[in-house]
């Protein structure tokens, strides 16, 4: 375990050193992020006051939902999505041979060798202030609700990581899985920015059981609002296990299928 | 000496599909593909002892790299048994992966925008090398490779030769028992090639590291390897010492003639075996017995319209080419 913590620190350090070589990307990324956040807040203000379906949701609840959605999105991108999105290129160019030859868990290197340091500043620039504003503005809740909300969020984050890892494992078999994966773990975050109860039951079920994004945004906010259905807490223990097994299966099959580059 | 690599009836086949050109065929292939199996490696039996320096030779697509990758545990074999350092490679146990290194001439593990020292430090953690051992190994390698001055310069600023030296230092920092080298001198100039060869030779002598080398440069093989393995169309066609291979050909020489006017093939076969004959009939290369090559040359000078004559030894490159073409 110590080895992996040390490796993670080193991956972070090298990613940071590489990031310093491209400072302009950081400035442009941060400006774009602030503009995007401002546009989202204005839209939410409009939705919360003008649309009837949003009447159970106050402006600050919506802000909190958006903040959590952004925390998941940037958190995933910073930690593992950036590395996993390069997996197909590594396989295609033969660089994956190098990964396989190292005495380190192959999924660990594939997930964390290229941390997106630049995005960390986006988290501090938009997600953290929005979370604080959302928490201060929403209805007061108990400490146990806060703890359970963090637990649900953690479970959702772990489940989403295993889903992303599992879908990445399919790249050994299906060359074009990347765009499908992008939809599953990135584009679908569009649904998580708004309360799921405004969508039809099929979408709610999909975002709970197939793409467990509801655990990263919707359910934690429901927990804070005190309206979370009882069956969700046990599900938080089951979902990471299900998606863990999924990624184990795809990587075991994928690595056997790996043929390298001549 | 301990056996470090043992394979028995090792084979690997890949599934591939054919897609004829054109939009219509591309559309058809979405629904129906004709798959076929390609045997990249067929029934290879090998035994390599500790400390040996073995050269894998073969034309492109012969199966050298596939064999190498199976030995390194990167690919699952389709059939046969394989044991490397007492382990089954494709199980990829960390204790096995820690004992070997893989250097690919066309793929770098160095981080392009950072100095080589950063990759070396990353490998220190990956291979769990103690601070003391790391410093010792780094000193030895940087002295042998003469790279002390370049370790802190970004990789992109280094020459190809310097990069390959750093690549070797990075691969060897954990003192592996077994080293796989896939085309380590590819693209290097003759001086850089010589430096790399000298280093590898010295490293093998000092550390008794078993080294498996694949290369298209016959100089690499002839100067470094005491044993060569020739692979063609996935099968092993020669496994033995370089000396045994060349001895057969040492009894022969090349006679190369340039003619003033066209000479027919049938008029040349009486002098020796035709190795190469130009389409215009104005030049030929013959393989003749070493003991009477001067008599044959004199006889040819008398009876053929010869403009120029050259007598040459058969190089290792030509021996290998001859073996491949006679397959």
Domain ranges for chain B: 3-246, 251-325
Q: How many residues does chain B have?
A: 327
- Judged by CB atoms closer than 8 Å, whether chains meet at B74 and A101 is answered as yes
DSSP A215: G
pLDDT of residue B135: 94
- Judged by CB atoms closer than 8 Å, whether chains meet at A258 and B75 is answered as yes
How many whole angstroms separate alpha carbon B324 and alpha carbon B327? Answer: 5
In chain A, the residue whose alpha carbon lies closest to the alpha carbon of B40 is: A262
Chain A environment of B97 (Cβ under 8 Å): 101-103
- Mean pLDDT value across residues B130-148: 92
pLDDT of residue B138: 94
Choose the closest CB to B75 out of A7, A106, A260.
Answer: A260
- Judged by CB atoms closer than 8 Å, whether chains meet at B74 and A258 is answered as yes
Cβ neighbourhood burial of A155 (10 Å; 0-12, 13-18, 19+): buried
- Mean pLDDT value across residues B219-236: 88
Please determine, for residue A22, whether its predicted confidence score (pLDDT) is greater than 70.
Answer: no
Residues 6+ positions from B22 with CB-CB distance below 8 Å: none
How many whole angstroms separate alpha carbon B185 and alpha carbon B55? Answer: 13
Please determine, for residue B297, whether its predicted confidence score (pLDDT) is greater than 60.
Answer: yes
CA distance A12 to chain B (A): 11
- Kindly state whether B39 is in contact with chain A, defined as any CB-CB distance less than 8 angstroms: no
Residue located via tokens 């489940």: A159
Please determine, for residue A52, whether its predicted confidence score (pLDDT) is greater than 70.
Answer: no
- Judged by CB atoms closer than 8 Å, whether chains meet at B73 and A17 is answered as no
pLDDT of residue B276: 86
- Judged by CB atoms closer than 8 Å, whether chains meet at B126 and A104 is answered as yes
Chain A environment of B110 (Cβ under 8 Å): none
pLDDT of residue B177: 94
**Band of residue B131 on the pLDDT scale cut at 50, 70, 90:** very high
**Lowest model confidence (mean pLDDT) among A11-20, A249-258, B306-315:** A11-20
Please determine, for residue A23, whether its predicted confidence score (pLDDT) is greater than 70.
Answer: no
- Judged by CB atoms closer than 8 Å, whether chains meet at B127 and A103 is answered as yes
pLDDT of residue B327: 61
Q: Which has more confidence, B150 or B251? A: B150
Q: Which has more confidence, B46 or A29? A: B46
Question: ipTM higher than 0.95?
Answer: no
pLDDT of residue B200: 92
CA distance A136 to chain B (A): 43
**Band of residue A51 on the pLDDT scale cut at 50, 70, 90:** low
Residue-averaged pLDDT of chain B: 88
B251-325: CATH number: 3.30.70
- Judged by CB atoms closer than 8 Å, whether chains meet at B66 and A98 is answered as no
pLDDT of residue A125: 72
**Band of residue B259 on the pLDDT scale cut at 50, 70, 90:** very high
- Judged by CB atoms closer than 8 Å, whether chains meet at B102 and A97 is answered as yes
Distances (CA, A) of A21 to A16, A80, B261: 9, 21, 66
Q: Which of A9, A23, A103 to mutate to test the interface with B (most CBs of B within 10 A)?
A: A103
Please report the DSSP string for B12-26 in residue order: EEEEEEE--SSHHHH
**Percentage of chain B surpassing pLDDT 90?**
46
pLDDT tens digits along B42-87: 999 999 999 999 999 888 888 888 999 999 999 989 999 999 999 9
- Kindly state whether B102 is in contact with chain A, defined as any CB-CB distance less than 8 angstroms: yes
**Band of residue A187 on the pLDDT scale cut at 50, 70, 90:** confident
pLDDT tens digits along B184-217: 888 888 888 888 999 999 999 998 999 999 887 7
- Kindly state whether B186 is in contact with chain A, defined as any CB-CB distance less than 8 angstroms: no
Residue located via tokens 């002295």: B143
pLDDT tens digits along A69-111: 888 888 898 899 989 988 888 888 888 888 899 999 999 999 9
Please determine, for residue B279, whether its predicted confidence score (pLDDT) is greater than 80.
Answer: yes
Please determine, for residue A242, whether its predicted confidence score (pLDDT) is greater than 70.
Answer: yes
pLDDT of residue A160: 95
- Mean pLDDT value across residues B115-139: 93
Q: Which of B125, B127, B167, B170 to mutate to test the interface with A (most CBs of A within 10 A)?
A: B125
Give me the architecture of the B3-246 domain, per CATH: 3-Layer(aba) Sandwich (3.40)
Please determine, for residue B320, whether its predicted confidence score (pLDDT) is greater than 80.
Answer: no
pLDDT of residue A34: 77
- Judged by CB atoms closer than 8 Å, whether chains meet at A18 and B111 is answered as yes
pLDDT tens digits along B165-183: 999 999 999 999 999 998 8
pLDDT of residue A90: 86
**Lowest model confidence (mean pLDDT) among A137-151, A211-225, B77-91:** A137-151
Choose the closest CB to B114 out of A14, A100, A256.
Answer: A14
- Mean pLDDT value across residues A201-225: 92
Cβ neighbourhood burial of B151 (10 Å; 0-12, 13-18, 19+): middle
Asked if A102 contacts A109 with a C-beta cutoff of 8 angstroms, the reply is: yes
Instruction: Collapse the DSSP code of A195 into the 3-class scheme (helix H, G, I; strand E, B; otherwise coil) and give the result.
Output: coil
CA-based diameter of chain A, in Å? 62
Interface residues of chain A, partner chain B, Cβ below 8 Å: 3, 6-7, 10, 14, 17-18, 21, 93-95, 97-98, 100-104, 106, 256, 258-260, 262
Asked if A256 contacts A170 with a C-beta cutoff of 8 angstroms, the reply is: no
Chain A environment of B118 (Cβ under 8 Å): 14, 17
Choose the closest CB to A103 out of B94, B106, B122.
Answer: B94
HEC assignment per residue over B70-105: HHCCCCCCCEEEEEECCECHHHCCHHHHCCEEEEEC
- Judged by CB atoms closer than 8 Å, whether chains meet at A103 and B69 is answered as no
Please determine, for residue B122, whether its predicted confidence score (pLDDT) is greater than 70.
Answer: yes
pLDDT tens digits along B83-116: 999 999 999 999 999 999 999 888 888 988 889 9
Asked if B242 contacts B230 with a C-beta cutoff of 8 angstroms, the reply is: no
Q: Which has more confidence, A66 or B98? A: B98
**Band of residue A139 on the pLDDT scale cut at 50, 70, 90:** low
Q: Which helix (H) or strand (E) holds B199?
A: helix B190-207
Interface size between A and B, measured as CB pairs under 8 A: 68
- Mean pLDDT value across residues A140-162: 90
pTM above 0.90, yes or no: no
Please determine, for residue A55, whether its predicted confidence score (pLDDT) is greater than 70.
Answer: no
pLDDT of residue A262: 53
- Judged by CB atoms closer than 8 Å, whether chains meet at A18 and B113 is answered as yes
**Lowest model confidence (mean pLDDT) among A154-158, A218-222, B143-147, B244-248:** B244-248
Asked if A99 contacts A260 with a C-beta cutoff of 8 angstroms, the reply is: no
Residue A57 has a CB neighbour count (10 Å cut-off) of: 22
């Amino acid at each position: 375990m110590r080895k992996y913590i040390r490796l993670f620190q080193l991956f972070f350090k090298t990613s940071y050193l590489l990031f310093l070589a491209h400072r302009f990307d950081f400035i442009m990324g941060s400006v774009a992020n602030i503009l995007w956040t401002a546009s989202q807040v204005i839209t939410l203000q409009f939705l919360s006051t003008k649309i009837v379906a949003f009447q159970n949701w106050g402006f600050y609840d919506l802000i909190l939902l958006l903040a959590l959605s952004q925390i998941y999105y940037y958190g995933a991108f910073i930690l593992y999505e950036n590395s996993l999105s390069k997996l197909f290129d590594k396989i295609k160019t033969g660089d994956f041979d190098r990964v396989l030859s190292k005495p380190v868990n192959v999924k660990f290197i594939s997930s964390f060798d290229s941390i997106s340091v630049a995005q960390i500043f986006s988290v501090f620039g938009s997600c953290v202030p929005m979370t604080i504003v959302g928490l201060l503005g929403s209805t007061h809740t108990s400490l146990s609700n806060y703890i359970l909300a963090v637990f649900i969020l953690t479970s959702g984050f772990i489940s989403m990581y295993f889903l992303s890892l599992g879908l990445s494992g399919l790249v050994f078999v299906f060359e074009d899985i990347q765009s499908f994966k992008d939809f599953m773990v990135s584009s679908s975050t569009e649904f998580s920015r708004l309360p799921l109860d405004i969508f039809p039951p099929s979408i709610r079920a999909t975002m709970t059981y197939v793409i467990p994004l509801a655990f990263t945004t919707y359910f934690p906010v429901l927990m804070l609002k005190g309206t979370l259905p009882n069956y969700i807490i046990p599900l938080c223990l089951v979902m990471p296990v299900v998606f863990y097994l999924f990624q184990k299966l795809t990587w075991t099959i994928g690595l056997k299928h790996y043929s390298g580059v001549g | 000496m301990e056996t470090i690599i043992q394979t028995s009836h090792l084979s690997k086949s890949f599934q591939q599909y054919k897609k004829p050109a054109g939009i219509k065929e591309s559309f058809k292939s979405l629904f129906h593909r004709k798959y076929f199996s390609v045997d990249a490696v067929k029934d290879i039996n090998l035994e390599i002892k500790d400390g040996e320096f073995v050269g894998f030779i073969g034309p492109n697509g012969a199966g050298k790299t596939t064999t190498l990758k199976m030995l390194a545990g990167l690919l699952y074999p389709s059939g046969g048994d394989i044991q490397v350092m007492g382990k089954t490679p494709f199980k990829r146990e960390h204790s096995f992966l820690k004992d070997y290194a893989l250097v690919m001439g066309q793929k770098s593990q160095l981080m392009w925008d950072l100095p080589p020292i950063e990759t070396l430090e990353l490998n220190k953690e990956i291979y769990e090398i103690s601070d003391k051992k790391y410093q010792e190994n780094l000193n030895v390698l940087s002295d042998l490779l003469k790279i002390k001055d370049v370790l802190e310069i970004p990789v992109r600023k280094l020459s190809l030769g310097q990069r390959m030296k750093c690549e070797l230092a990075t691969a060897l920092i954990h003192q592996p028992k077994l080293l796989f080298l896939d085309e380590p001198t590819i693209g290097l100039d003759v001086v850089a090639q010589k430096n790399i060869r000298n280093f590898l030779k010295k490293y093998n002598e000092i550390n008794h590291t078993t080294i498996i080398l694949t290369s298209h440069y016959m100089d690499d093989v002839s100067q470094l390897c005491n044993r060569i393995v020739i692979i063609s169309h996935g099968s092993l066609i020669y496994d033995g010492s370089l000396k045994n291979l060349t001895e057969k050909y040492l009894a022969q020489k090349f006679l190369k003639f340039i003619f003033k006017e066209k000479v027919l093939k049938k008029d040349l076969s009486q002098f020796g075996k035709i190795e190469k004959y130009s389409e215009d009939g104005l030049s030929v290369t013959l393989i003749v017995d070493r003991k009477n090559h001067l008599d044959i040359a004199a006889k040819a000078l008398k009876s053929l319209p010869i403009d120029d004559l050259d007598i040459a030894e058969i190089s290792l490159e030509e021996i290998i080419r001859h073996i491949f073409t006679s397959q």
